[in-house]
Structure 1
Amino acid sequence: MTAPLRALTPAAPIGYFVHHQGRGHAERCAAIVNALPAHRPVTIFCARGDIFPRMRAGVDIVVIPSLFEPTGAEVVQDFTAQPDTLHCAPLGWPGIRQAMGTMAAWFMTAHPALMICDVSAEVAQLARICSVPHVKVLQHGQRSDPGHRAAYDGAAGLLVPSAACLAQDDWDDGMRAKTCFAGGLGVDTALPDRDAARGRLNIAADQDMVLVLSGGGGTGFPSAPIAVGARALPDSLWLTVGKIARDWHATEPANLRHDGWVDNVADYIAAADCIVASTGNTPCQHVLAAGKPWVAVPEWRYFDEQVEKARVLHQAGVAHAVPGLPSSVQQWRAAITAARDNHDPARQQACVTPDAAGKTADWLEALIDRLWPKTATPIMTESRPAALAET
Structure 2
Amino acid sequence: MGLTGWYIHHHGAGHLTRFRAVRPHLPGDVVVFSSLPQPESLPAATTWVHLDRDDDGDTAGADPTVGGLLHWAPLGHAGHARRFAAITGAIADRRFDRFVVDVSVEVALLVRLLGVPTVVVTQPGDRSDTPHRLAYASATRVLAPWPVGVHASSVAPTLVEVGGISRFDGRERDVEPDPGRVLVLGGGVAGSDLASAAAATPETQWQLAGGTASTWIEDPWEALQRAEVVVAAAGQNSVADLAAAGARAVIVPQPRPFDEQVATGRVLTDRRLAVVRPAWPAAHEWPALLERARSLRPDWSQWGVTGAAKRAADTIAQVGA
TM over 0.5: yes
| 1:192 CA drift (Å) | 4.8
Q: Report the counterpart of residue 387 of structure 1 in structure 2.
A: none
Q: Report the counterpart of residue 183 of structure 2 in structure 1.
A: 211
Of residues 336, 339, 364, the one that matches 2:290 is: 336
Alignment check: 8 A CA contact 1:77 1:92 kept:
no
Identity of aligned pairs, percent?
29
| 1:221 CA drift (Å) | 0.9
Alignment check: 8 A CA contact 2:37 2:50 kept:
yes
Alignment check: 8 A CA contact 1:208 1:235 kept:
yes
Q: Please say which structure displays the higher CA radius of gyration.
A: 1
| 1:45 CA drift (Å) | 0.7
Q: Where in structure 2 are the equivalents of 1:58-69 lying within 5 Å?
A: 59-69=46-56
| Matching of residue 94 in structure 1 with residue 84 in structure 2 | no
Q: Report the counterpart of residue 179 of structure 1 in structure 2.
A: 160
| Matching of residue 284 in structure 1 with residue 268 in structure 2 | no
Alignment check: 8 A CA contact 2:38 2:48 kept:
no
Q: Report the counterpart of residue 311 of structure 2 in structure 1.
A: 359
Change (3 A) 1:44 1:284: same
Alignment check: 8 A CA contact 2:166 2:241 kept:
no
- After the TM superposition, which of the residue ranges 26-35 and 314-323 deviates more from structure 2? 26-35
Of residues 56, 69, 73, the one that matches 1:85 is: 69
Secondary structure of residue in 2 paired with 1:69: coil
Q: Report the counterpart of residue 41 of structure 1 in structure 2.
A: 29
Of residues 172, 175, 184, the one that matches 1:194 is: 175
How large is the RMSD of aligned CA atoms in angstroms?
A: 2.6
TM-score (norm 2): 0.89
Q: Report the counterpart of residue 14 of structure 2 in structure 1.
A: 24
Secondary structure of residue in 2 paired with 1:275: strand
Q: Report the counterpart of residue 223 of structure 1 in structure 2.
A: 191
Alignment check: 8 A CA contact 1:46 1:64 kept:
yes
| 1:193 CA drift (Å) | 2.4
| Matching of residue 120 in structure 1 with residue 104 in structure 2 | yes
* Cα shift readout 1:48-68 (whole Å, capped 9, x = no counterpart): 2424753112x2211111233
* Cα shift readout 1:104-155 (whole Å, capped 9, x = no counterpart): 2222332321111001111111122222211110111222110111111111
| Matching of residue 297 in structure 1 with residue 233 in structure 2 | no
Alignment check: 8 A CA contact 1:47 1:65 kept:
yes
Q: Report the counterpart of residue 224 of structure 2 in structure 1.
A: 269
| 1:277 CA drift (Å) | 0.7
Alignment check: 8 A CA contact 1:322 1:335 kept:
no
Paired residues, number: 321
Change (3 A) 1:361 1:264: closer
Q: Which runs of 5+ in 2 are unaligned?
A: none
| 1:361 CA drift (Å) | 1.9
| Matching of residue 237 in structure 1 with residue 205 in structure 2 | yes
* Cα shift readout 1:322-342 (whole Å, capped 9, x = no counterpart): 10110240x32343233333x
Secondary structure of residue in 2 paired with 1:83: helix
Q: Report the counterpart of residue 374 of structure 1 in structure 2.
A: none
Q: Which runs of 5+ in 1 are unaligned?
A: 1-9, 199-204, 245-258, 370-391
Q: Report the counterpart of residue 92 of structure 2 in structure 1.
A: 108
| 1:97 CA drift (Å) | 0.6
